[in-house]
Structure 1
Amino acid sequence: MQAKKISIIGLGLIGGSLARALKERLNISSITAVDSNEKSLSQALKEGYINEGFTELNDSVYNSDIIFICTPIRITLEYITQLHGKVKPGCILTDTASTKGEIIDYINSLDNPPCFIGGHPMAGTEKAGFASSFSHLFENAYYIMSPSKNCSEESLESLSEMIKGIGAIPVKLDSKEHDIITATISHVPHVIASALVNLVKFSDSPDRKMQILAAGGFKDITRIASSNPTMWENIILSNGQIVKSTLNKFTETINAFIEYIDNENSNSIYNFFESAKKFRDSIPSNRKGLIEPQNELIVDVVDKPGIIGEIATILGNNGINIKNINVSNSREFEQGCLRITLPDSSSVADAFELLLGKGYKVFKI
C-alpha cells in the first residue's frame, strides 16, 4: 500500500482530507494533486501531504495506480473523458460524487472503458476547501463502492483495503440502488429543508417576526439548507428522476396527513408521530451518515454571571475544544438553554460525561 502512487483531482474538503488520511494513516509517500487553486496546492505541498501539485492533468497523473476524482459531478465527467485512454494499465479510477448512476452509465458506454469504481464517502462538513480538511473525516463513515463493468475483484479489494485504512467502512452497492437510497435519505431531505426555509422567507411579515423567532428546533431541522447551492444543483440534475419519484412519495405522505386533519382522525395523527419516533430512535448513532451529525450538547443552566465561563473552563481544562457556545432564546421543544458545539462525536461524549459528573443537566441532540 505504501508503494502505490496516488493522484487526487480536486483538493477541497474531501480531496484534501483524503490526502491527509492517506499520508498520516497509510504512510503513502507518493501523492500527486491536481487543482485550479494554487493556494491549496501550495499549502498541501508545504505541509507535506502531497509531493507534486499541478493545475492540469499530465503524465505524472496518468502514471498513477489509483486516481481519486474529488470534484462536482459535471466536472468529474469531464475529467473521466480526459483520462480515458491515457492512464496506465491496471490503474483504478474512482470518484467521490454523491450520485453514481449517471457516472457508471457513462463509463460503461465507453469503448475499452477504464477500471472505474464509483465511490461515495458518506462524510463531510459545512466547510469547504483544503484548509478545512482533516485526516479523520472518514472515521466510522460508510464509504460506498459501485463498480463498473470493467472492474476486477482484485481492484475492488485493493480500493476496499485502502478505504479501511483511512478509517472508513466500505460498502458495495449497485449504482442504481445507491441513487435510490441517497435520494431518500439525503437529496430529498435537502430539498425539504430548503423548502421549509423558503416557506418562512415568503410567509414572513415585513417586520420579520418569523425570522427572529425561527431558532432552536427550526434551525436544527433546516441546518442542511445552508449547503453549497452549486453542489446541490449538480446532484439534483444528476439524480433528477429518482428525486422526483421520491418527492412524489413524500407528497403522498403529506396529503395523507392532511386528510387525517380534515377528518379529525386522532388515532392516525398519533400513529403518524409514534411510528416516526420509534423508527428514528432505532437508527444507530455510532456511525456517520450522508448528513453530517450535529456535534452539540444542550446544558440546562440558570442565567447567572460567569456561568458560560465556568463551563468553558471545565471543558478547556480537560482538553475539550469548543467550536461555539451560545444561549438558545427559542427553545419550545428542547431542554436547557446553553448550546455547545464541539468538533466531533468523541468530544461530545467526553463533554457529556464530564459535565454530568459535575452536576449539570446535559442533553445530547
Structure 2
Amino acid sequence: MVDKKISVIGLGLIGGSIVKALKEQMNITNIAAVDNNTESLNQALEEGYIVKGFSKLDEYIFDSDIIFICTPVSITISYIKELKDNVKDNCIITDTSSTKGRIIDYVNSLDNPPCFIGGHPMTGTEKTGFKSSYAHLFENAYYILSHTKSSADSHMDTLCKIIKGIGAIPLILDAQLHDEITATISHVPHVIASALVNLVKNSDSEDKKMQTLAAGGFKDITRIASSSPQMWENIVLSNSEKIKKTISDFIETLKSFMEYIDTNDSKSIYNFFESAKAYRDSFSDNQKGLIQPLHELVVDVVDKPGIIGDIATLLGQNGINIKNINVSNSREFEQGCLRITLPDSDSVDISYNLLTDKGYKVFKI
C-alpha cells in the first residue's frame, strides 16, 4: 500500500484526518489534495501530509490509484461527474458522505461508471476543518462500505486494507440499509437535539433563566446541536424520506408516552424507562459510533482554595493534556461538581486511575 498514489478531495475534518492517518499509520507518502481553502492546503503541505495541493481537479489527480471524495453529497456527485471520464481504468473512487443511497443510485445510473465504492466512516466531532483533524479519528470506528455495479470484490479488498490500515473496522452494507440505520441512530438524533435547543430558546424568559440553568445533562444530550448547519442541511435533504419515516416513528413513541401520562399508567411509564435503560446499558464502550463520545471525567471535590490547581498539576505531571476544566453549577443528575475534558479515551482511563489512587471520587461520563 505504501506505493499507492492517493488523492483526497476536501481537506475538512474527515479528509484531513484521512491524509494524516495514511501518512502516520500506513507510511503512505504520495498523497495529493484538492480544496478551495488555500490555508488548509498550505498547512497540509507545510506539515508534510501531502506532496501536492490543488484548488481544482488536475491531471495529477486523474492519475491516482485511489481517490477519496470528502465533501457533501451534492458536491460529491459533481466531482464524480468530472472524474468518471478522466481517471485511469483501475482507479478506485470512494466517498465519505453520511448518506449513501443518492450517490450509489447516481453511479449505478451511468452507462460506463468508474470503479466506485460508497464509504462512510462512522466517526466525527462537532469541530470542522483541517485544523481540527487528527490521525487517530478512525481508530476502532466502523467504516461502512457499499458496492456499486462497477466495484469488484478485488476493489473492495483493496479499500478494506486501507480502511484497516488507518485503524477503522470495515463493514460492507447495502446503501439503502445504511441510510435507514443512519437516519435512526444519527440523523434524527441531531434533529431532536436541535429541536430541544430551539424549544428552550423559544420558551425562555427575557432574563434567560432557562439558558442559565441549561447546563449539565441538558448540555450533554444537546451537544450535537453544535454541529455544522450547512452539513446537516445537506444530510437531511439527501436522506429526506428515511428521516421523515424515522421522525414519524419517534412521534408515535411520544404519543404513546403521553397516553401513559393521561391514563396515569405508572406501570407503562416505568417499563418505558426500564426497557430504555436495559437496552442502553447493553451498548459496547469499546467501539466508536456516529456521534463522538465525550472524553470527560466528573470529580466529586470539596470547594476549597487550590483544589483545581492540585488536580491539574497531578494530571499535568503525568503527561495528561487537559482540554478544559470547570465547575458545574447545575448538577442535577451529576455525581460531582468538577468536569474535566480530555482529548481521548486513553487520557480518560489514565486520569481516572491517577485521581482515584489519590483518593478522589471520580466518575466517567
Identify the residue that residue 230 of structure 1 maps to in structure 2: 230
Between the two proteins, what is the percent identity of the paired residues?
69
Displacement of 1:149 after TM fit? 1.1
Identify the residue that residue 283 of structure 2 maps to in structure 1: 283
Identify the residue that residue 149 of structure 1 maps to in structure 2: 149
Letter in 2 for 1:184: T
Alignment RMSD = 0.6
Q: Is the counterpart of residue 312 in structure 1 residue 317 in structure 2? A: no
Output the CA distance in 1 between the equivalents of 2:39 and 2:193.
Answer: 34
Letter in 2 for 1:303: D
Output the CA distance in 2 between the equivalents of 1:51 and 1:343.
Answer: 29
Structure 1 SS opposite 2:332: coil
Structure 1 SS opposite 2:136: coil
Letter in 1 for 2:282: S
Output the CA distance in 2 between the equivalents of 1:215 and 1:25.
Answer: 38
Structure 1 residues 154-179: Cα deviation after superposition (integer angstroms, max 9, x where no partner): 00000000100010100000000000
Structure 1 SS opposite 2:326: strand
Identify the residue that residue 57 of structure 1 maps to in structure 2: 57
Output the CA distance in 1 between the equivalents of 2:193 and 2:346.
Answer: 27
Structure 2 SS opposite 1:48: coil
CA contact (8 A) 2:143 2:169 kept: yes
Identify the residue that residue 293 of structure 2 maps to in structure 1: 293
Q: Is the counterpart of residue 123 in structure 1 residue 123 in structure 2? A: yes
Displacement of 1:24 after TM fit? 1.2
Output the CA distance in 1 between the equivalents of 2:332 and 2:295.
Answer: 21
Displacement of 1:29 after TM fit? 1.9
Displacement of 1:73 after TM fit? 1.3
Output the CA distance in 2 between the equivalents of 1:48 and 1:206.
Answer: 51
| Unaligned runs of at least 5 residues, structure 2 | none
Q: Is the counterpart of residue 216 in structure 1 residue 223 in structure 2? A: no
Counterparts of 1:26-175 in structure 2, within 5 Å, are: 26-175=26-175
Q: TM-score, normalised by structure 2?
A: 0.99
Identify the residue that residue 260 of structure 1 maps to in structure 2: 260
Structure 2 SS opposite 1:188: helix
Letter in 2 for 1:285: D
Structure 1 residues 293-349: Cα deviation after superposition (integer angstroms, max 9, x where no partner): 000000000000000000001110111110000000001111100000000111111
Structure 1 residues 201-248: Cα deviation after superposition (integer angstroms, max 9, x where no partner): 111111111111111100000000010000000000000000000000
User: Number of residue pairs matched?
Assistant: 365
Letter in 2 for 1:150: S
Identify the residue that residue 197 of structure 1 maps to in structure 2: 197
CA contact (8 A) 2:128 2:228 kept: no
Structure 1 residues 246-305: Cα deviation after superposition (integer angstroms, max 9, x where no partner): 000000000000000000000000000000001000000111000000000000000000
Output the CA distance in 2 between the equivalents of 1:29 and 1:215.
Answer: 45
Output the CA distance in 2 between the equivalents of 1:237 and 1:132.
Answer: 26
Letter in 1 for 2:231: M
Output the CA distance in 2 between the equivalents of 1:341 and 1:74.
Answer: 35
Letter in 2 for 1:34: V
Q: TM-score, normalised by structure 1?
A: 0.99
Runs of 4+ in structure 1 off by over 2 angstroms are none
CA contact (8 A) 2:12 2:128 kept: yes
Output the CA distance in 2 between the equivalents of 1:357 and 1:341.
Answer: 19
Structure 1 residues 76-124: Cα deviation after superposition (integer angstroms, max 9, x where no partner): 1111111111110110000000000000000100120111111101111
| Unaligned runs of at least 5 residues, structure 1 | none
Structure 2 SS opposite 1:136: helix
Identify the residue that residue 245 of structure 2 maps to in structure 1: 245
